Amino acid sequence: MAFFGALADEFSTDPSALQRLFLGLNVAPGGTALLVHMREHLLQSLGDHPGWAVVEASLAHVLKAVFCCDVLQFRRIDRETAAPILEKLIEYEAVHAIHDWREMRRRLEDDRRCYAFFHQAWPDEPIAFTEIALTRGISRKVQPILDPDSPVLDPASCDSAIFYSITSCQPGLRGFSFGNPLIGRVVAELRTELPQLGTFATLSPIQGFRRWLAMQATSSDSASRIASLAATVSASGWSDEEAGAQLKDDLLALCALYLLRAKKGAAPADPVTRFHLANGARLQQINWLSDLSRTGMERSAGFTANYLYDTAELERNAHSYATDHLIATTGEIERLSQRGAELSDRSRPT
């Protein structure tokens, strides 16, 4: 900690000299990893030491050059990949936990793909990775993809590639954008390997939905009723099927409202939505009781979303989102969000 304070005192008036110092450290043996871990510690403590901001900014500037996507190594992870690397994927997986080697092996079967970015100076440490299921049609449920006992499909019989997990591995590279170039490389690779694939889409969590839903609720309105019923969602289903069916319609509408109209500044409140829309994807489907894991229920009330990566639309969608924060979606989801807005308006006290 004293080290960062000394750097801030010494170089606060000459950040370029601090960058030269970091560049020199980077070329030393083990220097690249050292710089990444250094920034991780800086980010953890920056709130308590605002004077260190000049150190963090200089280090981030150097790391963005070092980890430019053009110089990263793109590799497929398969059953021949060294066990220490697979162990790190198990450790880092941030979307759908890998509980044991049996689950890991299933994610590397013929109808699955896993790709990662590495840096030549840190060859055994993944920077970011993504997992893909080859399917027939767009998958709407998570558990069949993750089930280690699910049947293995012939890749030649599949027409869709479903990105079901994207993980950035290094906290010291927080804020760096690896997802978009990684998806682009994967799509190009799969188009070459399996030219019959016509659909590239995601099966994505809706991370903030349940928290947002709870925030809408008050003690005396229908939103509170919906929120309390949502809290009873479980993998075992509904004891009252009629109430469950009605809740499904209400929650689909409120989920669409959250995705399209809940905001963080001018952008969508949901971080996964922001990521895919910025890449030019289209919000294609909202899926009810799609992720029945404990995390899926607690995070998203079991909902997921499919974002469609249509190469004919990506550039136009990304431009519209970047300039006006327009959300590419379907008419059905637009109508659902309108019903969600009506439901939300009715629930507000008068």
Rg of the chain in Å (alpha carbons)? 22
3-state DSSP call for residue 307?
strand
Query: Could you report the per-residue pLDDT of 152-171, keeping only the tens digit for each?
Result: 999 999 999 999 999 999 99
Dist CA 327 CA 209 (whole Å): 17
The arithmetic mean of pLDDT across residues 29-45, rounded, is: 95
Question: Cβ of 205: how many Cβ atoms within 10 Å?
Answer: 25
What's the CATH number of domain 70-202, 3.40.47.10, 3.40.630.180, 3.40.50.300, 3.30.300.30? Answer: 3.40.630.180
Structural domain boundaries of the chain? 2-66, 70-202, 204-347
The arithmetic mean of pLDDT across residues 100-115, rounded, is: 98
> Are the CB atoms for 343 and 254 separated by under 8 Å?
yes
3-state DSSP call for residue 185?
helix
164: region left, alpha or beta (phi > 0 left; psi from -120 to 50 alpha): alpha
- Residue 205 or 220, more confident: 205
Same fold, 70-202 and 204-347: yes
Check residue 238 and give its pLDDT: 46
Could you tell me the CA-to-CA distances from 250 to 59, 96, 219, 234, 287 in Å, in that order? 48, 27, 18, 17, 13
- Model-level pTM greater than 0.85? yes
What's the CATH number of domain 204-347, 3.10.20.740, 3.30.1490.20, 3.40.630.150, 3.40.120.10? Answer: 3.40.630.150
